[in-house]
């Protein structure tokens, strides 16, 4: 049982929920950028939520199935075709041996997720199948998928074909997208006026936006509190003695263009960070297209924790067994 990759799309990688535990060695957690979408796709085809599927950015791949199975496509809004016939997204679909999956042009969002019953079963690396190309780790031979690859898949269980997720739950970023953050880390390096300006400015997603980080342009350059740079930090006011980076942390090299670190983040470096995006908003970043207007909104820790609870409620992943979960999410 396998998937034959006819055309990989633009940048398509095998992802699951990642490999925590190695960030202290510079190996990031990785995994789906939009975890909610990956989880839902897996649940629709009867997989455990951490089964490996595919993450494709901007363009879908073209795939041939070598056996009868079930799939689900979630994430970005993009037309899905089986043998050229359009199919619903966020829905468990039956496919037959020899059929081909293809995609139309992206309408909204940035990343789509493909789950297949039984999951993709390439070898695990450090406990995960997620692709980390910089470290040649996981994925298909340490890289993104390419034309001609044959991806092994596992045996699926019972799938409720046609099961679908309520449209209200398919949350996509607003326009402008609001990214909530908690001020902290090296926020104190900014002057008060500059900090306020940063939150007031409208930024745009830059073309340099990938799994490592999303860059933003369009706001005013930051101003730093005067100081004599500490020994070992480097001469630029945006430099610090190299430290660890938080996932979601916002660094601003040279004070000009903010970069939000994402699942394939570098684990540390010498740029100041002014806070971090709250965990509840990390998935949305993965659905932002270049040129999307964005505003950063500072929230309290309490608000961050409430937002996180809301996300959990949306897809109650703790405690409930699989069937209860499905009753909760299926419309």
Partner 1 sequence: MKTRYTFGGDEHIYVEIDEEMSLDAFFKSLSMSNAVREAEIEGITEICPANASFQVKFNPDVIHPDDLLARIKTLEEKAIQAEKRLNTRIIEIPVYYQDPWTHETLMRFRERHQDPTGSDLEYAARINGFDSVDDFITAHHSQPWFVSMVGFVSGLPFLYQLVEREKQLEVPKYLRPRTDTPKLTVGYGGCFSCIYSVRGAGGYQMFGITPMPIYDPEQKVTYLQDFMVLFRPGDIVKWRPIDRAEYDDICQQVEDGTYIPKMANVEFDLDTFNQDIAKTNARLMEALNGA
What is the contact surface with partner 1 in residues (CB under 8 A)?
A: 20-21, 23-27, 125, 132, 134-137, 142, 181-182, 184-185, 230-235, 239-249, 266-270, 273, 275-279, 301, 304-305, 308, 312, 318
Q: Which is nearer to partner 1, 109 or 275 (CB)?
A: 275
Q: Which is nearer to partner 1, 46 or 195 (CB)?
A: 195
Rounded to a whole number of angstroms, the minimum distance from the CB of residue 231 to partner 1 is 4
Q: Which is nearer to partner 1, 80 or 294 (CB)?
A: 294
Rounded to a whole number of angstroms, the minimum distance from the CB of residue 153 to partner 1 is 23
Q: Which is nearer to partner 1, 74 or 144 (CB)?
A: 144
Cα separation, 27 vs 172, whole angstroms? 29
Q: Which is nearer to partner 1, 117 or 182 (CB)?
A: 182
Rounded to a whole number of angstroms, the minimum distance from the CB of residue 112 to partner 1 is 26
Rounded to a whole number of angstroms, the minimum distance from the CB of residue 209 to partner 1 is 15
Q: Give the relative orientation of helices 322-329 and 35-44 as an angle to the nearest 10 degrees.
A: 110
Cα separation, 10 vs 220, whole angstroms? 32
Closest CA to 32 of 11, 47, 46, 14: 14
Rounded to a whole number of angstroms, the minimum distance from the CB of residue 170 to partner 1 is 24
DSSP for 186-209, please give it.
TGGGB-HHHHHHHHHS-EEEEEEE
- Are 50 and 2 in contact, with CB atoms under 8 Å apart? no
Burial of 103 (0-12, 13-18, 19+ CB in 10 A): buried
Q: How many residues are there in the chain?
A: 331
Q: Which is nearer to partner 1, 55 or 281 (CB)?
A: 281
- The torsion of the CA quartet 317, 54, 118, 84, rounded to 10 degrees, works out to 120
Rounded to a whole number of angstroms, the minimum distance from the CB of residue 191 to partner 1 is 18
Cα separation, 318 vs 39, whole angstroms? 13
Structure tokens that stand for 137 in this block: 């780790």
Rounded to a whole number of angstroms, the minimum distance from the CB of residue 31 to partner 1 is 13
- Are 96 and 66 in contact, with CB atoms under 8 Å apart? no
Q: Which is nearer to partner 1, 107 or 227 (CB)?
A: 227
Rounded to a whole number of angstroms, the minimum distance from the CB of residue 242 to partner 1 is 6
Closest CA to 116 of 162, 70, 85, 57: 70
Rounded to a whole number of angstroms, the minimum distance from the CB of residue 221 to partner 1 is 16
**CA end-to-end distance (rounded Å), the chain:** 31
Q: Which is nearer to partner 1, 88 or 268 (CB)?
A: 268
| CA distances in angstroms from 60 to 23, 27, 84, 327, listed in the order given | 30, 27, 14, 29
Strand, coil or helix: what is 133?
helix
Report H helices in 151-288.
Answer: 192-200, 282-285
Q: Which is nearer to partner 1, 83 or 310 (CB)?
A: 310
Report CA 92 to chain centroid distance, whole Å. 21
**Number of Cβ atoms within 10 Å of the Cβ of 315:** 19
């Amino acid at each position: 049982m396998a998937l034959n990759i006819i055309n990989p799309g633009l940048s398509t990688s095998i992802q699951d929920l990642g490999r925590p535990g190695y960030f202290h060695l510079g190996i990031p957690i990785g995994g789906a950028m939009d975890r909610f979408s990956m989880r839902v796709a897996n649940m629709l085809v009867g997989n455990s939520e951490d089964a490996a599927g595919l993450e494709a950015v901007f363009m879908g791949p073209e795939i041939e199935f070598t056996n009868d199975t079930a799939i689900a496509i979630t994430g970005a809004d993009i037309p899905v075709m089986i043998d050229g016939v359009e199919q619903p997204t966020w829905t468990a679909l039956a496919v037959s041996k020899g059929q081909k999956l293809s995609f139309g042009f992206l309408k909204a969002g940035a990343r789509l997720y493909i789950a297949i019953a039984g999951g993709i079963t390439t070898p695990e690396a450090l406990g995960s199948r997620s692709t980390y190309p910089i470290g040649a780790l996981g994925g298909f031979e340490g890289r993104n998928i390419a034309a001609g690859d044959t991806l092994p898949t596992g045996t699926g269980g019972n799938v409720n074909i046609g099961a679908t997720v309520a449209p209200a739950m398919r949350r996509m970023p607003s326009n402008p997208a609001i990214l909530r953050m908690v001020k902290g880390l090296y926020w104190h390096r900014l002057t008060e006026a500059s900090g306020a300006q940063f939150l007031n400015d409208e930024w745009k997603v830059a073309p340099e936006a990938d799994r490592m980080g999303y860059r933003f342009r369009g706001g005013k350059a930051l101003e730093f509190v005067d100081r004599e740079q500490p020994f070992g930090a480097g001469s630029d006011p945006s430099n610090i003695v190299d430290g660890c980076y938080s996932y979601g942390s916002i660094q601003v090299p040279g004070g000009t263009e903010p970069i939000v670190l994402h699942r394939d983040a570098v684990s540390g470096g010498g740029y100041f960070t002014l806070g971090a995006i709250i965990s509840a908003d990390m998935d949305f970043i993965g659905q932002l297209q270049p040129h999307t207007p964005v505003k950063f909104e500072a929230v309290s820790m309490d608000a961050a924790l409430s937002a996180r609870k809301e996300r959990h409620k949306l897809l109650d992943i703790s405690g409930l067994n699989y069937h209860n979960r499905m009753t909760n999410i299926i419309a």
